[in-house]
Amino acid sequence: MKSYCISLDPGGTTGIALVEQEERPWEVAVKQLGPDEHHDNLLDFLRVWRPRYIVCESFQNRSFEAAKLIAPEYIGVVKLYVQDSSNRPVDIVWQSAALGKGFWDNNKLRAYNLYIPGMRHARDAIRHYAYWRTFTLHDRSVLEGTIRPRVFGI
3 state SS for 32-70? EECCCCCHHHHHHHHHHHCEEEEEEECCCCCCCCHHHHH
What domain range is 78 assigned to? 3-153
Closest to 99 in 3D by CA, of 144, 48, 134, 150? 134
Q: How many CB atoms lie within 10 A of CB 113?
A: 14
The whole model's pTM is what? 0.92
What is the CATH number for 112?
3.30.420.10
pLDDT digits (tens, 9 = 90+) for 61-95: 666 555 467 888 999 999 999 998 676 789 999 99
Q: What percent of the chain has pLDDT over 70?
A: 94
Q: Does 59 have pLDDT greater than 90? A: no
Q: How many domains does the chain have?
A: 1
Looking at residue 134, its pLDDT comes to 97
